[in-house]
Amino acid sequence: MKLRQLFVSCFIFVLGIGMASQSAAVEKLAVEDFFKETAYGGVSISPDGRKLAISIRYKERLALGVIDVKTKQPKLLTAPEDFDVTGMMWVGNNRILFTGIVPGDKFLPKRANGGIYAIDADGKNSRTLLESIDQQVARGIRTGRFGDILARYGKSTDEVLITYNGNNEKEPDVYRLNVRTGSKTIVASNPGKVMGYLADHNGVIRIAYGYKGLERFILYRETQKSEWREIGRFKTGVDGFKNAVLPQVFDSENKLLYVTVYRGDALTASIALYDPVKNEIVKELYSNDTYDIGPTLSSFDNRLIGYGYEGARGDVAVYVEKKYSDLQSMLEQEFPGMNVSIVSTSEDETIGVVAVRSDKDPGTLYLLNTKDLTIEKLIRPRDWINPAQMAEMRPITFQARDGLTIHGYLTLPAGVEPRDLPLIVNPHGGPWHVRDQWGFNPEVQFLANRGYAVLQINFRISAGYGKKFEYAGYGQWGLAMQDDLTDGVKWAISQGYADPKRIAIYGASYGGFATMAGLAFTPELYRCGINYVGVTDVRLLLKRMNPSWETSRAEIEAMAGFEKGGDNEILDKTSPMKNADLIKVPVFFSYGELDPRVDLKHGTRFISKLKSNGIPVEVMIKNNEEHGFRDLKNQVEFYSTMEQFLAKYMN
């Protein structure tokens, strides 16, 4: 069977859409073309499949809109002035629940504004169900109380389950929230140190989990009235995760749990079926020797329909339900070489929204009808991007000096012979719980458009490759993690891609630490460096830690190599700040004065030191920016300055 594609006009928020000509010439594109915001932020289809809730760019904010599936006519419902609408959920066919984020942080997850809101699909009966943190502050309330949507409450069209820290800032409870009146009813009190919960398919909270220092624990109860009992406790680290069992979702009978376990030499995340009463694994189900996998759940009844993982070329979906696996096969046939995923479906699963994207193409949303097997284009969020002008992102692997296999990506500028190219090494931030991924990356495409090859290395500690790989990076800032970057550069040179005399390093946040460490400890490799909101000293990072990180302090200290009670001499040996005298090449520094994560002193102290040593330094500090610039004008200035800096020092 084959899908039939319908060619119709997209709705009015997107203009001039069409597939780009593959013969289009590569030209130098405007800086803002790469960095201006997308036209949408998220989408959810109603249970009856007749309407789409979507966040739409409107007056520099993501507003909430709704689209009639039949007519394709959009309607703007609400346009908040102080936050972006991102999360949304249909409660019945006419009520939309939504949440938002506060803009300001580019490189780490945005700050949830803590509010929960609801509105009817016709724009009526708008209501604030839970005030945001900022709304509370405006009224003189500074308690830090906030809520988050947890799950649907069974089949109710009036209530959902939320977590809310109304009784204790650090320990949320679970409530039923009426989406029309805003009334709350507590259904699960925090048993102590619990940070998250899991409900069964009837809406009963039966799993709770949290952590104490470096230990994680899991609690279980049989019914709403049963006492909590501990079914799991383990320490973080390779040995601890060998015995870890992390609940994900109940089976259809609400008796067994699909859980994450860690298996194989790499200790990759796998899926198993688990009996919480007997506290034993019933059956090992799905695993991958290289990548961590996670469950794929249906949109409305939350049943397990398959699993997925982030592979070398983006998201990989493996469905265990035949109708979904057949659909996925047809979609992949229809869009060869593209990354295809079903992002939302109607309750009867006959209407769905499909995202299609690639390394060169930021993506298009399609409407899928599984009854008549038709698919039609809905929206192209970055319609000004021509995929034919973008560069190819190639997955790579190489062996680190200690034999560990390292994965990454090499993006080569289009229209240029891939030999002896100027190379930008671009270490990711984090450094934990994140990794570089295959897909459209505005920064990478901008640099490639300017003629540079870009090397992104998922050094040890990067997420997605198993716990053994992750914990191999603990305590290795400036050591083995840095060696992985160095070994990657040498690999690119040995393969003939990179000109050894024209290599620079650029990173943000932790990537800024890696940038400065690279310049200090391997000065022979790099012509120059760019540090964007980067950490430069671990001691300073831990001393001025953001309060929101305090609950994870023990884990962060372990990751960064800090040992309580120890002399921590290694932190000075691996600190770029303490070794600034070793840097001999030009550096471009850029920071935001309002950064809540990386104190401005990480930059200003380093800048002063290099200037006193006579090292060429360029500086951009914005007094209205945080951890990564959000204002487009500032972004354009930053990347334009970067372009000039690289051209000046990379010949």
User: What value, to the nearest 5°, has the Cα angle with vertex 213 and ends 212 and 216?
Assistant: 50
Report the Cα–Cα distance between both ends of the chain, in Å, rounded.
55
Question: What does the pLDDT read at residue 651?
Answer: 77
Task: Annotate 452-509 with DSSP letters as a single string.
Answer: -EEEEEE-TT-TTS-HHHHHTTTT-TTTHHHHHHHHHHHHHHHTT-EEEEEEEEEEET
> How do beta strands 173-178 and 184-188 pair?
antiparallel
Beta strand 421-425 with 498-508 is: parallel
Q: Measured between alpha carbons, how far is 509 from 599 in angstroms, rounded to an integer? A: 11
Rounded distance, CA 187 to CA 272, Å?
29
Fold designation for 390-649: Rossmann fold (3.40.50)
pLDDT at 564: 72
CB 271 within 8 A of CB 295: yes
In this chain, the answer to whether the domains covering 191-320 and 390-649 adopt an identical fold is no
Q: CB–CB of 363/380 below 8 Å?
A: yes
Residue 363 phi, psi dihedral angles, 5° rounding: 120, 160
Q: How many CB atoms lie within 10 A of CB 409?
A: 24
Q: Please give the pLDDT value at position 59.
A: 84
User: What pTM was estimated for this model as a whole?
Assistant: 0.91
Nearest-angstrom CA–CA distance, 166 and 146: 7
- The burial of 389, by beta-carbon neighbours within 10 Å (0-12 exposed, 13-18 middle, 19 or more buried), is given as buried
Q: Tell me the two tokens of residue 346.
A: 């109607």
Residue position matching structure tokens 């049963």: 226
- Parse the chain into domains and list their residue ranges: 39-150, 191-320, 336-387, 390-649
Residue among 587, 570, 458 at smallest CA distance from 520: 587
SS3 377: strand
Extract the residue ranges of the chain whose pLDDT is less than 50.
Answer: 7-25, 105, 107-110
Phi, psi of 62 (to 5 degrees): -90, 110
The enclosing H or E element of 133 equals helix 133-138
Q: Report the pLDDT value the prediction gives residue 113, as an integer from 0 to 100.
A: 60
- Of the candidates 494, 510, 518, 359, which has an alpha carbon nearest to the alpha carbon of residue 425? 518
User: 3-state SS string over 199-244?
Assistant: ECCCCCEEEEEEEECCEEEEEECCCCCCCCEEEEEEECCHHHHCCC
- Residue 51 is predicted with a pLDDT of 97
User: What are the two backbone dihedrals, phi and then psi, of residue 184, each rounded to the nearest 5 degrees?
Assistant: -120, 140
Got the DSSP string for 541-595? HHHT--GGGGGGHHHHHHHHT--TTS--HHHHHT-TTTTGGG--S-EEEEEETT-
> How confident is the model over 419-451, as pLDDT tens digits?
999 999 999 999 989 999 999 999 999 999 999
DSSP 343-369: EEE-TTSSEEEEEEE-SS---EEEEEE
Q: How far is CA 87 from the centre of its chain?
A: 14
Condensed to tens digits (0 to 9), the pLDDT of residues 472-527 reads 999 999 999 999 999 999 999 999 999 999 999 999 999 999 999 999 999 999 99
- Is the domain 39-150 a CATH 3.30.930.10 member? no
Phi, psi of 516 (to 5 degrees): -70, -35
Compute the chain's Rg from CA coordinates: 25
Q: In what order do the strands lie in the sheet with 304-311?
A: 294-297, 304-311, 314-319
191-320: CATH topology is Neuraminidase (2.120.10)
Closest CA to 131 of 149, 113, 119: 113
Count CA atoms closer than 13 A to 166's CA, side-chain side: 17
d(CA 56, CA 79): 9
Residue range 371-389, pLDDT digits in tens: 999 999 999 999 999 999 9
Contacts of 99 (CB under 8 A, 6+ apart): 85, 86, 87, 88, 112, 113, 115, 116, 117, 148, 149
With a CB cutoff of 8 Å and minimum separation 6, the contacts of 195 are 171, 172, 209, 210, 211, 551
Please name which of 52, 13, 22, 29 lies closest in space to residue 361, comparing C-alpha atoms. Answer: 22
The kind and range of the H/E element at 442 are: helix 442-449
Q: Look at strands 4-6 and 374-379 and give their pairing.
A: parallel
